[in-house]
């Protein structure tokens, strides 16, 4: 299983030539956003169709952190408020506001510290209601990953996302769906937040968007109207980035990779759940995590060195799987065989 690392690739790099990304790079070199409205428009249209958010407005940038930074700022411009609600174990990036909304003290420099972010337990509806009851008119936005990635593959409950939607509506706050890791088809829907059947006000995207090429963006619901100069960028939406992003959408569509994520993801989940040593198998589609008991703590390392399979992790004991969306069932079968083999070897050594 190649490309399981940080989820930045939705499928193998060999396909990048499709849609002409590399061809454009050779022929035209780099161009900035303003020079290439046509490609950006083409991307916006295709993205709108595939994601089902055709009436949203697209702003392109270069990384997930930048996307979240712009989403949080846009929300604050929109309602003139300062407070952000984020959740325990969240990861939203390493730049100023994005990192302030990230629940990991190791990433937050003193200069990033702020009283404007309120952290709540994930999936705790009572805590969320209480927070809105106390701070309702100060809350600018709620930012949430549909499935926490860095935090250890923790799925936001459907009822929790619905509660966020209704509380944001009631109090004039903006619902921001961080889809940097869990978006772009990985979970079997274009945005994992879609499982809740409600729309967010802003979706942020990066990682799989360029299949490894740095391109990111936010889409903004039509009732939010960015004013000139509120969002800006030098490189965002450059010609090459748009070509790469378009190529990715074409492959997603032509090769039905979102459906594949559902099918192969289900197979992987079922098989992993049947391995008694692995606990709390969770996730959606091809975004899967499970807990590894202390006696198998070398499993990740051994998968890498003995089987040449690179898996992700979340400290202290979670293995994270973010494979190619084009993963074939036979590759998934091989992965399951390999993991069983390594578990047996570790148990043999221990006895």
Residues that bind ligand PLP (CB under 6 A): 6, 63-65, 68, 91-93, 145, 149-150, 178, 180-181, 206
> CB-wise, 66 or 271, nearer to ligand PLP?
66
Give the C-alpha distances (Å, rounded to integers) separating 262 from 42, 155, 183, 269, 315.
Answer: 27, 16, 13, 10, 26
Q: Least separation, in Å, of the C-beta of 77 and ligand PLP?
A: 20
Q: How buried is residue 350: exposed, middle or buried, by Cβ count under 10 Å (0-12/13-18/19+)? A: exposed
> CB-wise, 62 or 302, nearer to ligand PLP?
62
Q: Least separation, in Å, of the C-beta of 156 and ligand PLP?
A: 12
Sheet bearing 318-321, strands edge to edge: 279-284, 287-291, 318-321, 312-314
Residue 347, token pair as written in the block = 């148990």
> CB-wise, 153 or 246, nearer to ligand PLP?
153
Give the C-alpha distances (Å, rounded to integers) separating 171 from 77, 139, 163, 204.
Answer: 16, 8, 12, 22
Count of beta carbons in the 10 Å neighbourhood of residue 303: 22
Q: Least separation, in Å, of the C-beta of 153 and ligand PLP?
A: 11
Q: Indicate if the alpha-carbon torsion angle 251, 255, 256, 261 is positive or negative.
A: negative
> CB-wise, 75 or 339, nearer to ligand PLP?
75
Count of beta carbons in the 10 Å neighbourhood of residue 7: 25
> CB-wise, 8 or 43, nearer to ligand PLP?
8
Q: Least separation, in Å, of the C-beta of 13 and ligand PLP?
A: 18
Give the C-alpha distances (Å, rounded to integers) separating 100 from 106, 131, 351.
Answer: 11, 18, 46
Q: Least separation, in Å, of the C-beta of 176 and ligand PLP?
A: 11
Q: Least separation, in Å, of the C-beta of 329 and ligand PLP?
A: 27
> CB-wise, 19 or 149, nearer to ligand PLP?
149
> CB-wise, 16 or 70, nearer to ligand PLP?
70
Q: Say which residue the tokens 């929300």 belong to.
A: 75
Q: Least separation, in Å, of the C-beta of 147 and ligand PLP?
A: 9
Render the burial of 78-117: b for 16+ CB within 10 Å, e for the rest.
bbebebbbbbebbbbbebbbbbbbbbeeebbeeebeeebb
> CB-wise, 90 or 302, nearer to ligand PLP?
90
Q: Least separation, in Å, of the C-beta of 317 and ligand PLP?
A: 19
Give the C-alpha distances (Å, rounded to integers) separating 311 from 152, 209, 294, 323.
Answer: 13, 21, 17, 8
Residue 78, token pair as written in the block = 């929109």
Closest residue to ligand PLP using C-beta atoms: 64
Q: Least separation, in Å, of the C-beta of 312 and ligand PLP?
A: 10
> CB-wise, 51 or 181, nearer to ligand PLP?
181
Q: How many CA atoms lie within 13 A of 140 on its CB side?
A: 20
Q: Give the separation between CA 187 and CA 181, rounded to whole angstroms.
A: 10
Give the C-alpha distances (Å, rounded to integers) separating 176 from 168, 198, 289, 316.
Answer: 10, 12, 24, 28
């Amino acid at each position: 299983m190649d490309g399981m690392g940080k989820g930045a690739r939705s499928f193998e790099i060999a396909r990048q030539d499709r849609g002409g990304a590399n061809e454009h790079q050779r022929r035209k070199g780099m161009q900035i956003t303003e020079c290439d409205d046509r490609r950006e428009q083409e991307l916006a249209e295709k993205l709108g169709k595939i994601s089902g958010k055709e009436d949203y407005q697209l702003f392109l940038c270069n990384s997930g952190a930048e996307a979240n930074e712009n989403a949080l700022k846009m929300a604050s411009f929109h309602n003139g408020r300062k407070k952000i609600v984020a959740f325990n174990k969240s990861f939203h990036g390493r730049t100023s506001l994005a990192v302030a909304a990230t629940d990991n003290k190791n990433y937050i420099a003193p200069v990033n510290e702020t009283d404007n972010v309120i952290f709540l337990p994930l999936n705790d509806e009572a805590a969320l209601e209480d927070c809105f009851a106390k701070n309702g008119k100060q809350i600018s936005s709620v930012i949430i990953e549909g499935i926490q990635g860095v935090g250890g593959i923790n799925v936001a409950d459907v009822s929790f996302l619905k509660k966020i939607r209704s509380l944001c509506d009631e109090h004039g706050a903006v619902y921001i769906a961080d889809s940097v890791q869990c978006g772009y088809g990985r979970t079997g829907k274009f945005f994992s937040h879609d499982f809740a059947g409600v729309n967010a006000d802003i979706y942020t995207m990066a990682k799989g968007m360029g299949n490894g090429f740095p391109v990111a963006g936010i889409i903004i619901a039509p009732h939010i109207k960015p004013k000139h100069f509120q969002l800006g960028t030098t490189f965002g939406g450059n010609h090459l980035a748009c070509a790469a992003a378009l190529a990715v959408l074409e492959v997603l569509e032509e090769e039905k990779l979102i459906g594949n994520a559902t099918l192969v993801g289900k197979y992987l989940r079922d098989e992993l759940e049947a391995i008694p040593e692995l606990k709390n198998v969770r996730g959606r589609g091809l975004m899967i995590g499970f807990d590894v008991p202390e006696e198998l703590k070398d499993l990740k390392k051994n998968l890498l060195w003995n089987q040449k399979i690179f898996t992700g992790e979340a400290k202290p004991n979670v293995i994270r799987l973010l494979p190619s969306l084009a993963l074939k069932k036979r590759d998934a079968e091989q992965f399951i065989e390999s993991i069983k083999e390594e578990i047996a070897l570790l148990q043999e050594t221990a006895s």
